[in-house]
Structure 1
Amino acid sequence: MASAVVAAGRWIGELLTKEAKLLSGVEDQVKEIVIDLQQMRRFIIYADENQDRQTHSIRNLVAQIREAALHAEDVILRFVVEVELRKDG
């Protein structure tokens, strides 16, 4: 599961950074979001590798962070698609 999050996040981060350059004033904010998502992915990978040491509450926290990261990436992807549609339209 972590590898899917990492691969999707990397692709979305690259795409989002390219799009942010086209939108004045948001490039720095986009870079911060990409960094946050990278940190979340690293945490998810670490947590997946150390599942045997986790308590029930830690597993729940990992699941919540995974959900938040995937949701953030979905929102970003929708934003990028919207920007592309507006450029074409």
Structure 2
Amino acid sequence: MKELTLDDLRHLMRISAGEDESTDLDGDIIDAGFRDLGYDSLAVLELASRLERDWGVVVPDEVAATLETPRAVLDYVNERAAVK
């Protein structure tokens, strides 16, 4: 399986919950908190669902709640994808 990149994640974020007009997902967002990016817990759960569907990596709800930045999501998904 190929590695999930920040660009891949940006795409999933946009289709999961849209993009707040005041947030520039094309900027340096890797360590920005999802709340700072305008993504609430429901948007993060939708992102987790898309990661499972599109990337085959299960992100349980209780884990999704702890993934607070795009970097944390990338690390989580890529660590599990490498094991497959």
With the length of structure 2 as denominator, give the TM-score of the two structures: 0.28
Q: Which has the larger radius of gyration?
A: 1
With the length of structure 1 as denominator, give the TM-score of the two structures: 0.27
Structure with greater helix share of residues: 1
